[in-house]
Structure formats: structure tokens, C-alpha cells
A and B are shown apart, each in its own frame.
Chain A
Amino acid sequence: MWRPSQSLQIRLLATLALLLLAAAGISAWALDALYRDLGLRARQDVLEAQIVALISSADIDSAGRLVPANLAEPRLATPGSGLYAEILSSRGSWRSPSALGSGLRLEARPAAGERVFEHASLADGTRVLGLSLGIRWEHADGSSRDFILRAAESLEPWYGEIVRVRTWLVSGSIALAVLLLAGLAVAMRVALKPLRRLESEIADIEAGRRAMLGSGWPRELAGVTGNLNALLAGERKRLERYRATLGNLAHSLKTPLAALRGLVESGQTGSQVLTPQIDRMQDIVQHQLKRAVFGGTGATLADLSLIEPLEQLRGALAKVYSDKAVRATLAVAPGTAYPIEAGDFLEMAGSVMDNAWKYCKGAVTACAKPWIAADWRRPGLELDIEDDGRGIPPAERARVQLRGARADESVSGQGIGLAVAREIAASYSGSLEIGDSPLGGARVSILLPGR
């Protein structure tokens, strides 16, 4: 069974070749049929003209035959010329000198006023077209006699012409098809060139010879290449972050490990001396895990509607802090959405809201609204979370955000939340700001830019 080739180019060319062949065949056949039809008509017209000429020059001779007085057409006088005529009557018949020895035999015997075309062959096999016309000759005395006038012409020269025309038609069609296919192949190579370039550039990226796809792609490919570049950039960022995380983790575990080794070597193995080091390692691992959770910006993130995750967080925090009876208000402008990964958003908003619940006296508000700027096609996001706790003094604000920026500086509990939120915001090119809330406590604003 024929299997379609894996190459788009070959598939397209094969299909087009079949189509072209069919088109050329049909047009050649139609042209041939038209040519034959017109040619036959022309041959018939010639025969009719010959018969009219015969009638106009003929007269009854003494024997009562109808005979042409003179032959206007010289071919009728030349034997084997290919044009023949005869006149039949009950009193004998006349044949043109050209018909002598030709073996012309036409069968039709039409009645007066009728005409019949017929194909016949001569003794030497020459194919001819014949016309027989029946006429009634009226004498002056009112009597009349019937004659049959016949003319025939060899079709061989015309058949020869048909063969020539067919040869031309077929070879012309083939040449045209070949030319068109060659042109298409060239056009396709030109059109598909950017795809081959894309292929080779991707191969280069795989081989590490190039970091990004180049520029100058045709409009149809610009979307794909743009997204691929964004994906590559996102993956590279992620990889860098993993590297940094692993580096930090390994680096920061060294110190407590060294301390543990020292304790064990000096024979101090009681849980009281070991537990602080184990706790420290646990904090480090937990901190790095938390940082590894968020995925960062992918190339194409769908818009996340923000009301549902904020409500989920409020429900969750209400359960966790059910002893506190916190009055929590959510204010989300209708349709507020932002292209962010759901896990990232939950982590970022959850960390900040958890702090608000933890430190508030009894009231928390979370407000999400689009952040509009003139040169953004899509708006950014502003998320403000406020509480009525003691707030964060201005001198502390920078430190709280930076705390835990590296694992070996990590301190469990307060602070990690805001640092994680700030890092997630930063991975979306956004920022986190700490201010005072009209409620009396802290106001944490997360600002994520639009695009």
C-alpha cells in the first residue's frame, strides 16, 4: 500500500502533479475533440461546395446523362488527386477522371432532396468522406428525372494533421505541467525556507550553540517563535533559580552539618545539643522547599480569575485562625484577572494573608484591582492586604522583606512569608511594598505589571 511521504513538500508536489496531469489530460482531450469537430465540418463544407459547382456546370447530354460541361476544379481532372465526383442516373453515370481506378464505392442512394455523408475506403486503403445528394431535374416539358450527385475527398491529409496536433497538445501539456511543478517546487522551497531555518536554529539551541531564536521571522511564524523564545527564557530563569536554590541549600546545610560532626566527634550526642542543629537544618530545608514551590512566569499563562482563590484563602484562614474571629473583607473589582499560575498566586497571597491573620487584632481587608498604565495592552494587578495589628515600623520594612533571601539567613516564623511573596512577585517582574493601613496595622501591596 502506498504510504504518504512524511515530507509536506513531497506530499504537496505529488498531489499537485496528479491534479496537473488530470487538468492537462482533460484540456488536451477537449481541444482534440473541438479540433476534430471543426475539421469535419470544414471537410463537409468542401464537399457541399463541390456538389454545388457540379450542379451549376452540369447539363443533360444526348444520352440523357447529366454531365458537367467543364471541370472548374482541376483536382477532379487529375487521377489520384484525392477529390472525386460522380453523377448517377438511370441512364448511365458520369465519374470524374480523378476517380478512375480509385475503387471508390459509396453506398448511399438518397432520394431527391436528401443528402447523406458517409465514410468509405478506396482500393488502396485511403479513407475518404463522401457526400451523396439526390436531385430531381425538371425539363421544360414538365417531365422530370432523378439523379444522385456525389463528391468524395480523401481524409488522409487531415488525419495526418490531427496526429500532428495531438502530438503538439500532449507534449505541450507535459511541458506545461513540468514547468508548473518545477515552479511550485521552487516556490515551496522559498516559502518553507523560514521553517528550515527554524529547524536548524532549534537544533542549534539543543546543541547549545545558540541561546534564543533569532529575529526577522515572517508574520505567520512570529507568534510561534515569540512564544518559543518566551518559553526558553522562562525555562532558563527556572533553571537558574534551581541552580541557585541547590547551591544555597548545599551551602547552608554545611554549617549545621559541620556543627553536628563536631558535636558527635567530641562525644556530645545528647538530644539537647543535637536538636538545635537538626531544627536549623529542618528550617533550612523547609525554607528552600517553600521557595521552590512557585513556578515563575511561563510563556503563555491563562488569565486567573482572582476572586475564587482569595475566597478559598479566606475560608482556609478562617478555619486555621478560628479562635480569633477575624472580620475579613474581600474587595475584588469585577472581572479582575491576571495571567499568573494558580499555585503562585495562592502562595503569594496566602503568605501575606497568613501574616495579616496572624498579627491582626480582629480585622483584615484584601483588595484586588487592575493596575492600569497607558502603554500596557493588558492591565497589571494591585493586591492590597491590610490588618489592624501593630503594623511594621518603617525601619523594619526593608529587613522583613529581605529576611530569608538566602537560606543561611533564614529565620523560621515571621518574615519568611513576606520574603516568599516578594520573590514570587519579582518572578512576575512585580514588587511588594509595605506601608501603613488606615485600619491601624500594616498594609502590604503587591504590584504586578501589565503587558
Chain B
Amino acid sequence: MRLLVVEDEPALRETLAQQFRAAGFAVDLAADGIEGEFSGQEYPIDVAVVDLGLPGKSGLDAIRAWRAAGRSFPVLILTARDSWQEKVSGLDAGADDYVTKPFRFEEVLARVQALLRRSAGWSQPLLKSGLVELDTRGQEVRVAGAPVDLTAFEYRLLEYLMLRAGEVISKTELTEKLYEQDFERDSNTIEVFIGRLRRKLDPDGTRQPIETLRGRGYRIARV
């Protein structure tokens, strides 16, 4: 999942980036509203966390600009004042949820995951496909009830496929969404990771949870 953090306070921005990366996100950073608006317009962002009080251009204006340009990824706003006036204006501008500063990272993460899930059409935090279960709250994966141990990148890959279950996802899209802007991309890596995921989810090769569509990409069945 690719996440954009727009926050002018460097310490908070870096902490958020670190924690989101640890939680398996590809994180893009912007320090002001103008840079933030550009990143939201130009990069394939899945979700954005936006501080409302920003230099250059306010967070509200950036969100309005994204929505006006038809960008529909979910947006979580960070408000300094816990006032309904600010919450209402943020949600009115096109944001989807809010967190009041100061916050615990777990709360922000839970909100972001809920937004991603909702925008993908899942109403429960537990994603299911056949015997594979993925719990977005605890980042746990089980096959037929037995926990499976995945690396952070493998989890990210599986979560992305399961959130978009039923859709064909190309290798290019996976590279774009799972790597950050500055990373070197190599679609062969995706193939390697898909191979590892398959072995972990289906060691004896009987269920084939991840389908390969030659020349088009991968798909997980939505059941």
C-alpha cells in the first residue's frame, strides 16, 4: 500500500514515516501543501494522511484540489484542535476521517487501515479468500485457521491483492504501489515474492490461492 504523509513538523513526519514503513507501507513524504498536492496528483497513492495546518497551501486546499481532479483515494486528516468546526470543514473538503493531535500511532494506523478496507469495499477488518484469512488489525495471516509467518513485504503484497480481491493486478501496478518513489524498481522481484507467498500459503500446491494470468498479472479470488 502506498501512503502519502503531508506534515510540516519534521519530527512528526519522520516518526510517522518510520512507523508506517514498519507497518508495511510504502511511504511518500511531503513537507508542505504544495508538495503534498503535487504528490497526491502525480503518484499512485492509495491513502493520504494530511495535517490541516500547513505552510504554503493548507491541507484543506490540497484535499479539495485532489477531489476536484478526480483523485478518490481516502484521506485521513490530523487536526490540532479537537473542534467540530475543523473536523466538519475537513470532512466537507473531501477527507474521510480525522485523528486529533496528539495521537497514538496505533490509532492512526487503525484509521488508515479501516479507510483502505472501506475504499476497497470490505466492511470488516477480516479479509477472506477461500481458506486464506488476513486480519488487517493485527496484520495476521491464517490459512485454514493456522497462522502463517510472512515478512513485511510479503504481507504488503498479500494485503494489496486481497483488498482488491477479484481484480487482476498487473506487475507494474504492484511495483508502483509497493515501492516508494525513490526506490529502484524491478518487476522480477515481484515474481520472486509471489513465488514465496505461494509456497507459504499453499505448501503442497493444491489450492492455488494466487492465480497468474499470463501477460496481465495476478488475481486472488473474492469468496
Contact = CB atoms under 8 A, between A and B. Distances in A.
Interface of A: 282, 285-286, 289-290, 293, 309, 312-313, 315-316, 319-320, 322-323, 342-343, 346-347, 349-351, 354
A289 B82 contact: yes
Contacts of A319: 91, 95-97
A282 B102 contact: yes
Contacts of B102: 282, 285-286
Interface in B100-148: 100, 102, 114, 118, 123
Interface size class of B (residues with CB under 8 A): 10 to 19
Per CB-CB distance, the 4 closest pairs between chain A and chain B, nearest first, are A350-B84, A316-B91, A346-B84, A343-B85
B91 A320 contact: yes
Contacts of B118: 322-323
B92 interface: yes
B88 to A, nearest CB: 5
A56 B214 CA distance: 150
B83 interface: yes
A316 B81 contact: no
B219 interface: no
Contacts of B82: 286, 289-290, 293
Interface of B: 81-85, 87-88, 91-92, 95-98, 100, 102, 114, 118, 123
Given A319-B96, A323-B123, A293 B91 contact: no
A343 B85 CA distance: 6
A316 B100 contact: no
Given A290-B82, A342-B85, A346-B83, A323 B92 contact: no
A309 B83 CA distance: 14
A361 to B, nearest CB: 16
A34 B59 CA distance: 84
Nearest to A287: B82
Contacts of A286: 82, 100, 102
Contacts of B95: 319
7 contacts: A285-B102, A290-B83, A312-B92, A316-B87, A316-B92, A350-B87, A351-B84
B120 to A, nearest CB: 13
Contacts of B83: 290, 293, 343, 346-347
A342 B85 CA distance: 8
A346 B96 CA distance: 18
Chain A binding surface, main DSSP class: helix
Contact of B88 (A285, A289, A323, A346): A346
A354 B114 CA distance: 18
Contacts of A320: 91, 97-98
Nearest to B111: A320
Contacts of B100: 286
A315 B91 CA distance: 8
Nearest to B89: A312
A325 to B, nearest CB: 9
Contacts of B123: 323
Contacts of A347: 83-85
A319 B88 CA distance: 10
Nearest to A323: B123
A310 to B, nearest CB: 10
Given A282-B102, A320-B98, A323-B123, A315 B92 contact: yes
Contacts of B97: 319-320
B99 to A, nearest CB: 11
Given A316-B91, A319-B91, A346 B85 contact: yes
A350 B91 contact: no
A343 B87 CA distance: 11
A350 B84 CA distance: 6
Given A312-B88, A320-B97, A343-B83, 20 more contacts: A286-B100, A290-B83, A313-B84, A315-B91, A315-B92, A316-B87, A319-B96, A322-B118, A323-B114, A323-B118, A323-B123, A343-B85, A346-B83, A346-B84, A346-B85, A347-B85, A349-B84, A350-B84, A351-B84, A354-B84
A200 to B, nearest CB: 41
A216 to B, nearest CB: 41
A317 to B, nearest CB: 9
Residue from B88, B92, B102, B114 whose CB has the most chain A CB atoms within 10 Å: B88
Nearest to A341: B85
A289 B81 contact: yes
A204 to B, nearest CB: 37
A253 to B, nearest CB: 15
A320 B95 CA distance: 10
